[in-house]
Amino acid sequence: MRLIRTKIAAVVVSVLPGFVLWQAPLLAQSQAASQAAYLGMDRNDYPGDANMETLSKTFAFTGYWLNNPPGTRSNSWAGKRAVLQQMGYGFLVLFNGREYQQLKASGNAARVGSTDAGAAVRAAEGDGFPKNAIIFLDQEQGGRMLPEQRAYIHAWADGVVRGGFRAGIYCSGIPFQESKSTTVVTADDIRDNAAGRAFHFFISNDQCPPSPGCSFPNPAPSPARSAVGFADAWQFAQSPRRPDVTAACRKTYADDGSCYPPGLPASSGLHIDVDSATHPDPSDARTR
């Protein structure tokens, strides 16, 4: 999972978005930062059952794609829910959303959002995820959402809720200087313009600090430390690292710039993104 860095329009930019950060009172922030947190990982390609068994010694939960992850032509996670739950994993259930160019070209972004919501619901049901689980829409492009993006996100969320699930979104939490006087954080922009919709937030912020880089602390860092106080989950390391925001923690990454988990050497090629969450099953997606 990689937030896109190319500029789409004057207000749709890379992963360095920013608006006036939503700030809880200092006491509330302190309490949130001290909450228990759990370590997780995500990766576009399924690592294989044996590797996932090894990774379960470090991670409480894993990302789980319902459709083709970004940059792929197939979904190797499909059908793996039951075996992963048997290993003890919780889930961050992910659905790969559309880029701005696709939405603009469609002529009806809301209709695309509704169609994709139906696909997400069917995939979740087909893989045995329980109703009311949170499905996180992968919003890779950051900055202030353009009308087509907002229409798509809202229609997708409405469709997922109609299908009996809850709507979440993966997006950037890094401030972007939109103009000399205005900054935008994608998470704030989506939340502030949700029109009454309840979103759960999986925040990407690999900037060091607040990110500890490619590390596996126990306890895991609270998502509140991501600089987005309402985050449910936080992706704090990506593979490969982004040099422009990870200079202060570059030594925590492997020589090739990627992040490798404990027990698996760089020669394995099994690089990962590292996450934390306030719950060991962030999507509340285990079957009982």
pLDDT of residue 9 exceeding 80: no
Among residues 263, 206, 216, 173, which one has the least CA distance to residue 37?
Answer: 216
Instruction: Specify if 78 maps to a domain.
Output: yes
Higher pLDDT, 125 or 2: 125
Q: What confidence tens digit (pLDDT) does each residue in 171-229 have? A: 999 998 888 888 999 999 999 999 999 999 999 999 999 999 999 998 999 999 999 99
pTM equals 0.88
CA atoms within 13 A on the CB side of 274: 31
For residues 213 and 250, give the distance between their C-alpha atoms in angstroms, rounded to a whole number: 7
Instruction: Specify if 4 maps to a domain.
Output: no
Q: What confidence tens digit (pLDDT) does each residue in 226-256 have? A: 999 999 999 999 999 999 999 999 999 999 9
User: Taking CA 257 as the corner, what is the angle to CA 51 and CA 232, rounded to the nearest 5 degrees?
Assistant: 65
Instruction: Specify if 201 maps to a domain.
Output: yes
Report how far apart, in Å, the C-alpha atoms of 35 and of each of 10, 191, 202, 221 are.
Answer: 38, 22, 17, 9
Instruction: Specify if 287 maps to a domain.
Output: no
Instruction: Specify if 283 maps to a domain.
Output: no
Instruction: Specify if 288 maps to a domain.
Output: no
Q: How many domains would you assign to the chain?
A: 1
Residue ranges making up the domain that contains 253:
12-277
160: domain CATH number is 3.20.20.80
Instruction: Specify if 282 maps to a domain.
Output: no
